[in-house]
Amino acid sequence: MALRPARHTLVDLLAPFIGDGPFRRLGRCAYRILRRRDFFVADSGRRSVVFAGDSLIDQWETLAPNFPGLKVANRGISGDLSSELLRRFGEDVLACRPRAVVLLIGTNDLAGGAPPAQVAENLRILLGLAEDFEGGVPVVLCRLLPRTAVPGIFPDRIRELNALIDGLPSKHRGVSVCDTFTVLAAADGGPRDGCFVDGLHLSPDGYRRLRDALAPHLSRY
């Protein structure tokens, strides 16, 4: 499977997506997405551990210092959805020929009304793409993080999706699940005090807890 990074255009962004679920209205965020993806082209990230996902990855400004001695590449885009990550997974992630992929995606899908089973199916497709690429790319699949409670939605849908995530490794080789929920959750399933800046995005202490949860999964690299 031959892949090479390419500059991204608005036409590219408007092309048909694969996967199911809600999509963003591009509008004001289109220019930011283009700039972010053009940065990916400039920063090849070849043979790195690639972190892919939404703003929780995109805004991890201390990613490299948090994993000293490990070559990492940040391929997060704020607001991203699992269906949109599916569309860009080849060029933005697999084109790096990654040693491994850390995958954290899905909270925006749930907020947009997608049922957990639909998000889990998109994750299954992503895992299949990694498994089939050049003999297989290992994936650390993160459980969704807590966020501010919304009656009937959060934390209920997060718990439901995380239960589905727990079952995905049985269908794919080279996949491990990292419990990035429990280390950041309060007793009621909401955000742990001090770990979030706004009920969704992580504080410095939150990123330290996220690093500590992932470190054992990445130690082999």
Strand order in the sheet with 139-142: 72-76, 49-53, 100-104, 139-142, 175-178
Fold of 10-218: Rossmann fold (3.40.50)
Predicted pLDDT of residue 34: 67
Q: How many helices (H) and strands (E) does the chain have?
A: 9, 5
Which DSSP letter does residue 150 get? B
Residue 7 has pLDDT above 90, yes or no: no
Q: What is the pLDDT of residues 98-144, one digit of tens each?
A: 999 999 999 999 999 999 999 999 999 999 999 999 999 999 999 99
Give me the residue spans of the domains in the chain: 10-218
What pLDDT does residue 37 have? 74
- Residue 27, pLDDT > 50, answer no
